[in-house]
């Protein structure tokens, strides 16, 4: 395997939950050495959230706890203890990049925030990512991406006009923020190379969310329009919806962009009488009679599987697609398989476990993905001994003092 | 020479993309790169995508274009003509990045594939952003946002239980591809800075959206359960034969809606939040019956749907007495996991984003006014990514680039224009 792009870049990863770990993962997938600093006393929230292997909770049994930590090393360290802070500082001296994904001010309590770190490690690259940003009237709001997505405007536009706003199960802003953060982080590494200067990156995940709603936000700023919910309709295309298909809870989406595609669409569905009605002949007419049109199409589509409808429409050049389930549909999707969107790596406690791969393929330096996400403290031996140079006696002492945490330190009930 | 004050100053990008894929070049432009948006003569189809400035449907007034074209200069060029290709090759000699979003194989069919461009400009990075990637069974599918979104699984996790899954109405499919394309491009750029070696990047929008599915593929992998959007809350799978249970997260308040996580169990933050929320309600004479509830002992395997429904009903009765502003204030003060569902007006007027100066004014001399845009969502202590210029008008920089930079004479430009090349 060719030398990996970020080989030699060292990251000390204090971040947790969704966003911070993903930017570090992106570099880890391309060869950076990333050490997650974790503690059994206060495990990453995702380690105690489902899905668990065999539905049995445990800090090393959650696939969610693995999702953003592919290819990383994990140590268990209680840095609320003075000796733990000493170890953390030693790790920081080793690192090129420090990550923080906690509520603003959390790491300051232990002298591990940017202001403290830059004093003993000038020139460091350090990122902090949180819901609202490090400063400001709401900076201490410490929620999850579900809240970030709500605050950046997504819930209000998701769903149907006759129902209430909908939550975004995937904490959507958690999957916009990391990409900006990674771009800025790589920019910072190159800037450091060029100028020798370090950099502090302060990300607001809410703002990241707002950028992918920019046209709606501009529509308010410029035209005073407040976007509402419209189900699966589209202002510029008709028909445009998800239609019921044969089977239980099965759907296909169809989007007709222009009159030419409308003609082809009518041919594909066998030109039933209503297709020829003048009210459906123009875009304006179809739009004005959209409820009726959608019902008629649904009557047709329910006799076919979504795969059949997609094949028929695509063969005639009409955009259509199966509404895949979020798990089975995606994991078995032939295109996702072709791209190797998922790799099954052997997790120490879970066994073979699905891990994501980057959404881009690099022609000359493809990511070499080989290491499953670590169990909590899985790499203590390697990191404490090899990277930090502690002796057997030091390590034994720190275990006794509880500086290096173990399973015994997991808070009761979260087992 | 690279500009010391930006991350990508001195690097040039040729951007042939459309729609949300334009976000890739926009982000590189935010970092200081010199981005040329190359449009077909007459203008890019993306200029016809609304909403429009003052609702005037004019290719020079698309707000979608205004945003995606920020930090770019604009030239028109038809690469299907031989003259157009020659001009493009001249531009490639001056460029460090080429980004395109045509159907797979199109650039190659014009003799402008990566192998050819690499010969013209060794070390060049070429990024292709397409719905499904360059190869595979869907590579040549016809796609719009909703079709891509459906095939990426993200629709399934949004929606009402009794209706079809639903998409986010503002297009996300190409934008995710564009944004993650920028990330892949920066990864390749880092490699080039160290080694001088350029490469080709094949970005799939479908795969980009798959990376937004959170834990749903993992839930399938371990528990063989498909998370589906099921109304104003979420379904929590349990070990069969126990049925999944529904936990409400959206609650009405006096003047809108809020998202609340009202739970407990192993997550210390959830427990503290639920305690603080009940205490607040108790102060106001609400949710009395949960005053001493053991949130820490809450357990998904033993909890009943009846309890969850009762809990939700009590909470909504209380929140209906409070405004969004009151809810947010208390949530921040007491670390309650609650936030209002903002509309775009709330977003534009957020005191938090105002404090961070997230929104930036950009001059539009052609409209005689300034427009406020969302900025870059990371504040950096050095080399701050920023908006330097508004989106280009059609062919706005043709003279500047073709005449002054490439030295094409004005007579020849007139000829090229009349031939439909530019």
pLDDT tens digits, residue range B260-316?
999 888 778 889 999 999 999 999 999 999 999 999 888 777 889 999 999 999 999
Cβ proximity of A12 and A91 under 8 Å:
yes
- Cβ contacts of A331 on chain B, cutoff 8 Å: 217, 220-221
Phi and psi torsions of B98, nearest 5°:
-125, 130
DSSP, collapsed to helix, strand or coil, labels residue A183 as helix
A52, part of any domain: yes
CATH of the domain at A63: 3.40.50.10540
Which residue of chain B has the CA closest to A344? B221
Phi and psi torsions of A375, nearest 5°:
-70, 165
From the list A382, A269, A362, A366, the residue with the least C-alpha distance to A320 is A269
Strand partners, B203: A360, B129
From the list B337, B269, B236, B207, the residue with the least C-alpha distance to A16 is B269
Cβ proximity of B85 and B110 under 8 Å:
yes
Q: How confident is the model at residue B243 (pLDDT cuts 50, 70, 90)?
A: confident
- Taking the Cβ of residue B203 and every Cβ of chain A, the question of whether any pair is shorter than 8 Å is answered with yes
The position carrying tokens 């680039």 is: B401
- Cβ contacts of B53 on chain A, cutoff 8 Å: 222-223
Do the strands B12-15 and B97-100 form a parallel or antiparallel pair, or are they unpaired?
Answer: parallel
Do the strands B245-248 and A320-322 form a parallel or antiparallel pair, or are they unpaired?
Answer: unpaired
What is the architecture of the domain spanning B12-211+388-418? 3-Layer(aba) Sandwich (3.40)
Contact A365 B372 (CB under 8 A): no
A222, part of any domain: no
* Boundary residue ending a domain (A290, A313, A330): A330
Contact B339 A318 (CB under 8 A): no
* Boundary residue ending a domain (A304, A330, A356): A330
In eight-state DSSP terms, residue B8 is S
The b/e string for B31-55 (b: 16+ C-beta within 10 A; e otherwise) is bbbbbbbbbbbebbebbebbbbbee
User: What pTM did the predictor assign?
Assistant: 0.97
* Boundary residue ending a domain (A312, A330, A348): A330
Helix and strand tally (H, E) in chain A? 16, 12
Which residue of chain B has the CA closest to A219? B51
**Count of the separate structural domains present in chain A:** 2
Angle at A316 between CA A311 and CA A322, to 5 degrees: 30
Cβ proximity of B248 and B233 under 8 Å:
yes
- Taking the Cβ of residue A164 and every Cβ of chain B, the question of whether any pair is shorter than 8 Å is answered with yes
Same domain, A28 and A134: yes
Same domain, A187 and A46: yes
On the CB side of A190, CA atoms within 13 Å amount to: 28
Token pair for B117: 């461009």
User: Which one of A155, A327, A361 has the shortest CB-CB distance to B225?
Assistant: A327
C-alpha torsion sign, points B186, B191, B195, B196: negative
User: Which one of B217, B332, B380 has the shortest CB-CB distance to A342?
Assistant: B217
- Taking the Cβ of residue A232 and every Cβ of chain B, the question of whether any pair is shorter than 8 Å is answered with yes
CA distances from B417 to A227, B92, B400 (A): 40, 20, 15
List the single best residue of B374, B387, B391 to mutate versus A (max A Cβ within 10 A): B374
Contact B160 A326 (CB under 8 A): no
From the list A129, A122, A72, A70, the residue with the least C-alpha distance to A92 is A122
Which residue of chain B has the CA closest to A202? B379
Compute, in degrees rounded to 10, the torsion defined by CA atoms B19, A239, A281, A261: 50
CATH of the domain at A279: 3.30.1540.10
Residue A249: Cβ-neighbour burial (10 angstroms; 0-12, 13-18, 19+): middle
CB count, 10 Å around CB of B303? 18
Do the strands B369-374 and B359-364 form a parallel or antiparallel pair, or are they unpaired?
Answer: antiparallel
From the list A187, A291, A208, the residue with the least C-alpha distance to B11 is A187
Cβ proximity of B136 and B110 under 8 Å:
no
**Cα-to-chain-centroid distance, residue B256:** 26
Q: DSSP of A94-148, one letter per residue?
A: H-SEEEE-SSTTTGGGGT-SHHHHHHHSTT-EEEEEESS-SSSTTTT----HHHH
Which residue of chain B has the CA closest to A197? B382
- pLDDT at res. A415: 34
- pLDDT at res. B241: 87
- pLDDT at res. B3: 52
Same domain, A325 and A365: no
Cβ proximity of A326 and B156 under 8 Å:
yes
From the list B214, B208, B213, B211, the residue with the least C-alpha distance to B101 is B208
Q: DSSP of B284-321, one letter per residue?
A: TT--GGGTT--GGG--TTT--HHHHHHHHHHHHHHHTT
Q: Which domain holds residue A297?
A: 240-330
Give ranges for CATH 3.40.50.10540 in chain B.
12-211+388-418
In eight-state DSSP terms, residue A384 is I
Contact A157 B66 (CB under 8 A): no
In eight-state DSSP terms, residue A3 is P
| Beta strands in B77-124, from DSSP E residues, in sequence order | 97-100
- pLDDT at res. A180: 98
Total residues found in chain B within this entry: 422
Give ranges for CATH 3.30.1540.10 in chain B.
232-348
From the list B64, B75, B38, B33, the residue with the least C-alpha distance to B175 is B64
A226, part of any domain: no
Same domain, A45 and A129: yes
C-alpha torsion sign, points B130, B132, B133, B135: negative
- pLDDT at res. B240: 84
Same domain, A110 and A65: yes
* Mean pLDDT score, B117-128: 98
**Cα-to-chain-centroid distance, residue A69:** 12
Low-confidence ranges of chain A (pLDDT < 50): 413-415
Contact A164 B156 (CB under 8 A): no
- Taking the Cβ of residue B67 and every Cβ of chain A, the question of whether any pair is shorter than 8 Å is answered with yes
The position carrying tokens 């009903």 is: B313
- pLDDT at res. A412: 58
Cβ proximity of A138 and B352 under 8 Å:
yes
Contact B222 A240 (CB under 8 A): no
- Taking the Cβ of residue A118 and every Cβ of chain B, the question of whether any pair is shorter than 8 Å is answered with no
Phi-psi label, residue A402: left if phi above 0, alpha if psi -120 to 50, beta otherwise: left
Same domain, A39 and A100: yes
Contact A226 B208 (CB under 8 A): no
- Taking the Cβ of residue B161 and every Cβ of chain A, the question of whether any pair is shorter than 8 Å is answered with no
pLDDT tens by residue, B93-116:
999 999 999 999 999 999 999 999
Alpha-carbon span B36 to B13, nearest angstrom? 6
User: Which one of B144, B152, B379 has the shortest CB-CB distance to A257?
Assistant: B144
- Cβ contacts of A230 on chain B, cutoff 8 Å: 169
The b/e string for A250-282 (b: 16+ C-beta within 10 A; e otherwise) is bbbbbbbbeeebbeebbebbeeeeebeeeebee
From the list A387, A409, A385, A410, the residue with the least C-alpha distance to A396 is A385
Residues 6 or more apart in contact with residue A366 via CB below 8 angstroms: none
Cβ proximity of B62 and B46 under 8 Å:
yes
- Could you say which residues from 293 to 352 on chain A have a Cβ atom under 8 Å away from some Cβ of chain B? 314, 317-331, 333-336, 338-339, 341-342, 350
- Cβ contacts of B49 on chain A, cutoff 8 Å: 215, 236
Q: Where are the alpha helices (DSSP H) in B203-267?
A: 205-210, 216-223
Residue B20 clears pLDDT 90, i.e. is over it:
yes
Same domain, A181 and A51: yes
Same domain, A260 and A363: no
Alpha-carbon span A329 to A331, nearest angstrom? 6
Which residue of chain A has the CA closest to B28? A183
Alpha-carbon span A315 to A294, nearest angstrom? 21
Same domain, A143 and A264: no
- Taking the Cβ of residue A44 and every Cβ of chain B, the question of whether any pair is shorter than 8 Å is answered with no
- Cβ contacts of B167 on chain A, cutoff 8 Å: 232
- pLDDT at res. B1: 41
Cβ proximity of B181 and B99 under 8 Å:
yes
Residue B2 clears pLDDT 90, i.e. is over it:
no
Strand partners, A13: A36, A99
Same domain, A179 and A41: yes
**Cα-to-chain-centroid distance, residue B21:** 10
Q: DSSP of B186-211, one letter per residue?
A: HHHHHHHHHH----EEEEEHHHHHHT
Q: How confident is the model at residue B244 (pLDDT cuts 50, 70, 90)?
A: confident
A224, part of any domain: no
List the single best residue of A28, A215, A249, A362 to mutate versus B (max B Cβ within 10 A): A215
* pLDDT, greater one: B46 or B242: B46
pLDDT tens by residue, B52-72:
999 999 999 999 999 999 999
DSSP, collapsed to helix, strand or coil, labels residue B39 as strand
Same domain, A179 and A82: yes
List the single best residue of B99, B125, B171, B183 to mutate versus A (max A Cβ within 10 A): B183
**Cα-to-chain-centroid distance, residue B213:** 14
CB count, 10 Å around CB of A376? 25
Q: Chain-wide mean pLDDT for chain B?
A: 95
- Could you say which residues from 200 to 219 on chain A have a Cβ atom under 8 Å away from some Cβ of chain B? 200-208, 210-219
- pLDDT at res. A330: 97
DSSP, collapsed to helix, strand or coil, labels residue A344 as strand
As a whole number of Å, the end-to-end CA separation of chain B is 29
Token pair for B342: 């903002």
Top-level class of domain B232-348: alpha beta
Same domain, A280 and A393: no
Token pair for A33: 């050495």
The position carrying tokens 């799978």 is: B237
pLDDT tens by residue, A249-297:
999 999 999 999 999 999 999 999 999 999 999 999 999 999 999 999 9
Alpha-carbon span B88 to A29, nearest angstrom? 35
């Amino acid at each position: 395997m060719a030398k990996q792009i970020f080989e030699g870049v060292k990251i000390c990863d204090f971040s947790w939950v969704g966003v911070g770990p993903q930017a570090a993962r992106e570099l880890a997938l391309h060869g950076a050495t990333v050490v997650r600093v974790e503690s059994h006393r206060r495990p990453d929230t995702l380690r105690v959230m489902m899905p668990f292997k065999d539905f049995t909770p445990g800090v090393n049994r959650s696939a969610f706890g693995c999702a953003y930590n592919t290819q990383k090393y994990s140590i268990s360290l209680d840095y609320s203890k003075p000796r733990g802070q000493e170890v953390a500082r030693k790790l920081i001296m080793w690192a090129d990049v420090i990550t923080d994904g906690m509520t603003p001010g959390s790491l300051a309590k232990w002298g591990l925030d940017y202001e403290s770190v830059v004093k003993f490690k000038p020139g460091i690259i350090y990122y902090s990512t949180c819901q609202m940003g490090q400063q400001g009237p709401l900076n201490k709001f410490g929620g999850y991406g579900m809240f970030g997505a709500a605050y950046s405007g997504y819930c209000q536009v998701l769903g149907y006009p006759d129902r209430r706003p909908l939550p975004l199960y995937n904490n959507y802003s958690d999957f916009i923020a990391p990409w900006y953060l990674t771009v800025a982080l790589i920019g910072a590494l190159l800037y450091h190379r060029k100028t020798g200067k370090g950099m502090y990156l302060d990300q607001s995940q809410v703002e990241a969310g707002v950028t992918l709603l920019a046209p709606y936000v501009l529509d308010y700023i410029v035209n005073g329009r407040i976007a509402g919910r419209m189900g699966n309709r589209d202002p510029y295309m008709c028909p445009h919806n998800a239609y019921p298909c044969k089977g239980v809870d099965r759907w296909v989406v169809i989007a007709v962009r222009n009159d030419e595609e409308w003609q082809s669409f009518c041919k594909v569905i066998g030109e039933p009488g209503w297709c020829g009605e003048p009210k459906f002949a123009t875009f304006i007419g179809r739009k004005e009679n959209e409820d009726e049109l959608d019902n008629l199409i649904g009557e047709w589509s329910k006799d076919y599987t979504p795969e059949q409808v997609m094949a028929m429409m695509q063969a005639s050049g009409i955009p259509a697609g199966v509404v895949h389930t979020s798990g089975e549909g995606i994991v078995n999707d032939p295109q996702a398989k072709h791209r190797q969107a998922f790799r099954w790596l052997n997790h120490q406690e879970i066994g073979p476990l699905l891990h994501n791969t980057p959404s881009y393929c690099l022609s000359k330096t493809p990511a070499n993905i080989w290491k499953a996400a670590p169990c909590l403290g899985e790499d203590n031996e390697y990191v404490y001994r090899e990277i930090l140079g502690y002796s057997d006696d030091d390590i034994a002492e720190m275990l006794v003092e509880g500086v290096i945490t173990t399973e015994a330190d997991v808070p009761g009930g979260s087992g | 020479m690279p500009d010391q004050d930006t991350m990508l100053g001195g690097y040039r990008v040729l951007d042939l993309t459309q729609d949300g894929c334009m976000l890739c070049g926009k982000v590189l432009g935010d970092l200081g790169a010199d981005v040329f948006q190359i449009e077909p003569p007459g203008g890019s189809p993306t200029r016809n995508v609304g909403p429009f400035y003052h609702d005037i449907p004019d290719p020079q007034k698309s707000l979608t274009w205004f945003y995606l074209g920020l930090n770019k200069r604009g030239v028109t060029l038809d690469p299907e003509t031989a003259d157009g290709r020659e001009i493009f090759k001249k531009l490639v000699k001056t460029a460090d990045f080429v980004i395109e979003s045509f159907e797979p194989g199109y650039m190659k069919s014009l003799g402008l594939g990566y192998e050819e461009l690499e010969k013209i400009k060794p070390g060049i990075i070429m990024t292709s952003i397409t719905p499904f990637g360059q190869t595979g069974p869907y590579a040549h599918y016809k796609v719009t946002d909703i079709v891509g979104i459906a095939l990426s699984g993200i629709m399934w996790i949004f929606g009402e239980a009794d209706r079809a899954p639903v998409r986010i109405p503002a297009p996300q499919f190409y934008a995710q591809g564009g944004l993650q394309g920028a990330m892949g491009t920066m990864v390749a750029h880092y490699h080039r800075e160290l080694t001088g070696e350029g490469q080709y990047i094949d970005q799939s929008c479908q795969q980009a959206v798959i990376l937004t599915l959170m834990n749903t593929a993992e839930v399938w992998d371990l528990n063989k359960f498909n998370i589906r959007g099921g109304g104003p809350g979420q379904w929590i799978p349990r070990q069969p034969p126990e049925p999944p249970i529904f936990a409400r997260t959206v609650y009405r308040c006096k003047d809108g809606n809020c998202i609340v996580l009202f739970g407990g169990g192993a997550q210390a933050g959830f427990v503290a939040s639920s305690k603080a929320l009940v205490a607040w309600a108790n102060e106001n004479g609400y949710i009395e019956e949960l005053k001493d509830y053991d949130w820490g002992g809450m357990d998904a395997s033993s909890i009943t749907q009846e309890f969850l429904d009762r809990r939700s009903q009590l909470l909504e009765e209380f929140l209906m007495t409070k405004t969004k502003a009151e809810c947010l204030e208390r949530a921040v003060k007491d670390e309650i996991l609650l936030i209002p569902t903002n509309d775009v007006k709330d977003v534009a007027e957020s005191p938090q984003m105002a404090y961070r100066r997230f929104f930036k004014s950009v001059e539009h001399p052609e409209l005689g006014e300034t427009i406020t845009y969302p900025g870059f969502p990371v504040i950096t202590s050095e080399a701050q990514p920023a908006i330097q210029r508004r989106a280009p008008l059609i062919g706005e920089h043709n003279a500047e680039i073709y005449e002054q930079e490439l030295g094409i004479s004005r007579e020849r430009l007139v000829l090229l224009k009349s031939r439909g090349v530019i």
